[in-house]
Every structure is written in C-alpha cells, then in structure tokens.
Amino acid sequence: MSNLPESSGSPLVVLGEIVSVHGIRGSVKVKSDTDPLDNALDYPEWILRKGDQTHTIKVLDGRVQGRVLVVDLEGVTDRDQALALVGNEICVAEQALPDLEAGEYYWHQLEGLQVITVQGQLLGLIDHLLETGSNDVIVVKPCEGSLDQRERLLPYLPDLYVKAIDLQAGVMQVDWDPEF
C-alpha cells in the first residue's frame, strides 16, 4: 500500500466499499456500486479512502459471490490485515473511467445538478440516484430558490421525462408536473 500524492489532480469516484473479510487468507468482501458488480475489477489499482486518508493498492484477483465481490489485494495476506481495511471506500481517479457515448452520464456527474421543469420552475438539486428494477430514480431535494420544500422522486427516463442535461450549466430540464 502506498500513499496517494496530494496533487493527483483528478477527483475521486467511489466504486464501492470494503464491508467485511472473507476467510483467513486476507480476502475482503466488497459492496460494489458498479453495474455489473464486477466492473470494479476492471481497475488494476484502487484508491482506498477512509476519512481524509487515502492509499493505493493493487487488485490481484476477484470474483462475484452473491451480491458482493471477494477480492485479493496486494500485501494483504491474513485476516487481521483484511479487517483493517473494512470501512474503506474504493475509489478511482475520475480520469480513469471509460468514456461514454453521447447522451450517457455517470451518476456522479448528475448529482448536484439543478432540476428545472420545462416551464422554468426549480424543483431542487439531484441528491442521488436509486437503482430500481424497472428504471433508475432521481432523488431531488429542495434547495434555496426551489418551488417548495418537498423531496421528489423522478423516474430517470430520458425519452420521457428528462428533456435535457447540461453539465456545464449544472442543469437537468424535466417534463414533470411539480404537483405530482
């Protein structure tokens, strides 16, 4: 494990978290936020973050086991070493993420955008997104200047409700009735 230089430059994107240990040989269980789960294994090095401490670590091997990944990390050879890593977020530099097609976005890019109706009413800011069985859901929390103080759950359906996304302006325009 090595310290991540302060001047790495690129913001970090969280891929998941080390949630437990697996066995006695130093394997860890990882809750992956990627889709599919094993996409987190596409990165040969992870940046582990706990609080304001970060360290890089090499991924040696990993596999899906149920709803988690079981991962072997370089230099982690026993249960005690693995236990010390529980609670660390797994991150990569944003610049390491693959480029997306036009009109596709990573969730972290959408968080914090203002949500404005096609009529120009500010509903709030995107707090986070939820994955559901049929479609993703945008959680919009009220902010200064928003229409009211209601939290809203909007389906993330670009062809139906989401009309435009402008990352530069920090705005998502939606066709949504604020009374709903």
- For the stretch 30-39, contacts whose Cβ atoms lie closer than 8 Å and that sit 24 or more positions apart, written own/partner, are 30/62, 30/68, 30/69, 30/70, 30/71, 30/90, 31/67, 31/68, 32/68, 32/69, 32/90, 35/131, 36/64, 37/64, 37/67, 37/68, 37/69, 38/62, 38/63, 38/64, 38/69, 39/15
**What average pLDDT does range 5-11 have in this prediction?**
57
How does residue 159 score in pLDDT terms, banded at 50, 70 and 90?
A: confident
* Predicted local confidence at residue 10, as pLDDT: 78
| Whether residue 62 has pLDDT greater than 50 | yes
User: Which domains are seen in the chain, by residue range?
Assistant: 8-96 (2.40.30.60), 107-174 (2.30.30.240)
Q: Which pTM was predicted? A: 0.77
pLDDT in tens, 35-55: 899 999 999 999 999 999 999
* Predicted local confidence at residue 2, as pLDDT: 37
pLDDT in tens, 117-151: 999 999 999 999 998 878 899 999 999 999 999 99
